Amino acid sequence: MSLVDIWRNRQRGQKPPKGIKIMTTYHSDALVFFGATGDLAYKKIFPALQGMVKRGHLNVPVIGVAKAGWNLDQLRARAHDSLEKHGGVDPGAFEKLSNLLRYVDGDYQDLATFTTLRKELRDAHHPAYYLAIPPVLFEAVVEQLAKSNCSKGARVIVEKPFGHDLASARELNKVLLGMFDEADIFRIDHYLGKQPVSNMLVFRFANSFAEAFWNRNYIDSIHITMAENFGVEDRGAFYDQTGTVRDVVQNHLFQVLSNLAMEPPAQSDSESQRDEKVKVLKAIPPVEVKNLVRGQFRGYRDEKGVAKDSQTETFVALKLEIDSWRWKGVPVYIRAGKCLPVTCTEIVGKFRKPPTLIPDSVLTANHLRFRLNPDVTIAMGMMLLASAEAMSLQAREMVASRDPHSGEMDAYERLLGAAMEGDATLFAREDYVEEAWRIVDPILKEKTPIYPYVPNTWGPEQVDLVTPPGGWDNPSVGQDELSLAKQAA
């Protein structure tokens, strides 16, 4: 069985064949999620749990832990309300999920909470602990897990943000590795759970023609855009402490970039794949201030929870290099932001223009375009003859596209299932996280200018300082695609 077959089967929830080492030898026999009454649980975790039950991937106790003064009936009611608003209630699956649910109420700093948890685990020997809580609470929770004898034989699933800079990421790694082995730590970046992100790897490694041109000999530059046509909504206080670089560039977009730029792994196991992704980041020098533009949409400072003199960016454009054999000399341009004209994530690889008798001024560079949302598209841009009489040319695309909302697993459903199986392929390793922070650490420490921009535009005027030759390719979406984007958001 090929590597691509294994990837495809994992997306369907199927186990790999015998002899393929992408998971450890046991399935977690309980799932404990801290932060059971929080916003993430409400919007993402309960829908994912129902999906897992519906597919037959979850039949172990699910224990919610929080300090809310609740009981089990209230947690079940919260789960039902969550599903009504986020995806819909499947009566049969919800009944099964309700029977699996348990609840522990208590303070994360109190050993008694974890003593009660130990009792609720009963005969479970290999629980998975999902820390859907702020990073500041990680240390207290993992220490109490160890003190209460709950950590033995367990896995821990950690929600982002994983630190706010290189130093804090190293400190969090130190805390976790003090209680758990690296093989038992699963750092979630939900972007890696999205099937379109894995689709990039399938395109690259399942198609022999792709290898011929996906390198510095033919690619002139790579552009990555992650645009959102909405603001910070109810996340003002969080976002004002985070900003665009920390919120989506250092994690989501670097994951996309490592998938685009990695070499084929030597073997099919998760560590070989993660090794190649780390090599990509190691080849990227830290971003220089001169290759960065930060922006803030007008009206951001009026959002609830946002400081009136905030210097937090809601838009960023940056340029970086990958000093590897494959990509040396190919600039990578990344931009991301809120209150832009559309909601869309798209990658464009621009080809070098061919030597030709046709004037360069009438040629549009060929391109390869990956769209990850709201629809899933792979397109090849090329020049065609528009008129034989006038010998005029036109740029056209050959497009393959499909609807991503066709019964596929939600990202959180896929990731939680993989973590409970022990499959680390879709999770960030310690060295990957630290390398990602290393790349952006210098620009986070510098006090760079923040430029205002008008909502529904492509960022501040100063973005021209970090713009690819020929300009950015601005993605556009139709009404049907816009509807899909709103559903995904």
Question: What pLDDT is recorded for position 190?
Answer: 87
What does the alpha-carbon distance between residue 45 and residue 39 come to, in Å, rounded to a whole number?
Answer: 9
Question: What pLDDT is recorded for position 102?
Answer: 98
In CATH terms, the fold of domain 3-190 is Rossmann fold (3.40.50)
Is residue 27 within 8 A of residue 127, CB to CB? The reply is no
Is residue 294 within 8 A of residue 313, CB to CB? The reply is yes
Question: What pLDDT is recorded for position 144?
Answer: 95
Q: Provide CB contacts within 8 A for 399, sequence distance 6+.
A: 377, 378, 379
Backbone angles phi, psi at 398, to 5 degrees: -100, 120
What does the alpha-carbon distance between residue 313 and residue 453 come to, in Å, rounded to a whole number?
Answer: 11
Residue in this structure with the two tokens 């909601």, named with its chain if needed:
343
Question: What pLDDT is recorded for position 389?
Answer: 66
Q: At residue 240, what is the residue type?
A: D
Return the domain boundaries, the chain: 3-190, 192-408+427-488
Instruction: Please report which helix (H) or strand (E) contains residue 421, including its range.
Output: helix 411-421
Is residue 89 within 8 A of residue 83, CB to CB? The reply is yes
Question: What pLDDT is recorded for position 355?
Answer: 83
DSSP secondary-structure letter at 328?
T
Q: Provide CB contacts within 8 A for 88, sequence distance 6+.
A: none
What are the strands, taking DSSP E only, across 106-161?
Answer: 127-131, 155-158
| Active site amino acids | 252
What does the alpha-carbon distance between residue 172 and residue 136 come to, in Å, rounded to a whole number?
Answer: 9
Per-residue pLDDT 10s for the chain (489 aa) are: 444 444 445 445 555 554 444 444 689 999 999 999 999 999 999 999 999 999 999 999 999 999 999 999 999 999 999 999 998 999 999 999 999 999 999 999 999 999 999 999 999 999 999 999 988 899 999 999 999 999 999 999 998 888 999 999 999 999 999 999 999 999 998 888 888 888 888 899 999 999 899 999 999 999 999 999 999 988 899 999 999 999 999 999 999 999 999 999 998 888 999 999 999 999 999 999 999 999 999 999 999 999 999 999 999 999 999 999 999 999 999 999 999 999 999 999 999 988 877 777 777 888 999 999 888 899 999 888 876 666 678 888 889 876 655 567 889 999 999 999 999 999 999 999 999 999 999 999 999 999 999 999 999 999 999 999 889 999 987 644 444 444 444
Return the CATH superfamily for domain 192-408+427-488: Dihydrodipicolinate Reductase; domain 2 (3.30.360.10)
Is residue 413 within 8 A of residue 258, CB to CB? The reply is no
